[in-house]
């Protein structure tokens, strides 16, 4: 996958970003590059998964896998999770969240895996937008 530092200008799939709209990268992680770690609430993770399931954007034809190290060996490809009887495949879309200021935060949908399994701690503005349900389709 492509690596971008958090809160840098988004430049991956820009064709459907309205002109003049500022958008920033969140959670574009890569093996060998450090990232902030910490704990997030279960409520935040549940809400993030719902937003990923119901508001995918920036869909691609291929699948990206997680390049980070896993204690159990290799992650399944494509990576999927199942919650409450619903299977969600991650690695081929983004989640876009709009802040009250109009700024858009854009993350790969693998961010759910990064947060849950690698304890990635996204910026507070992303967490706040997730909890407010501010998805942009």
> Helix and strand tally (H, E) in the chain?
3, 5
Q: What is the DSSP letter of 31?
A: T
Average pLDDT over residues 93-118: 95
Measured CA to CA, the distance from residue 67 to residue 74 in angstroms comes to 9
pLDDT range class, residue 1, cuts 50, 70, 90: low
Residues 6+ apart with CB under 8 A from 125: 99, 105
**pLDDT tens digit string along 42-60?**
999 999 999 999 999 998 8
Instruction: Please report the pLDDT score of residue 120 as a whole number.
Output: 98
Q: At residue 62, does pLDDT exceed 90?
A: no
Tell me the whole-structure pTM to 2 decimals: 0.92
Measured CA to CA, the distance from residue 105 to residue 26 in angstroms comes to 6
pLDDT range class, residue 17, cuts 50, 70, 90: confident
**pLDDT tens digit string along 18-35?**
888 999 999 999 999 999
Say if CB 43 and CB 137 are below 8 A apart.
Answer: no
Average pLDDT over residues 90-113: 95
């Amino acid at each position: 996958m492509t690596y971008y530092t958090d809160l840098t200008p988004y430049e991956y799939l820009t064709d459907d970003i309205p002109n003049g709209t500022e958008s920033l990268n969140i959670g574009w992680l890569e093996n060998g590059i450090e990232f902030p770690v910490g704990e997030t609430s279960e409520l935040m993770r549940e809400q993030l998964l719902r937003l990923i399931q119901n508001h995918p954007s920036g869909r691609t034809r291929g699948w990206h896998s997680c390049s980070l190290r896993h204690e159990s060996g290799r992650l399944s490809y494509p990576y999927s999770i199942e919650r409450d009887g619903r299977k969600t495949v991650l690695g081929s879309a983004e989640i876009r969240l709009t802040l009250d200021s109009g700024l858009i935060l854009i993350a790969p949908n693998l961010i759910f895996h990064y947060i849950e399994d690698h304890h990635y701690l996204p910026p507070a503005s992303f967490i706040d937008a997730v909890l407010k349900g501010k998805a942009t389709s």
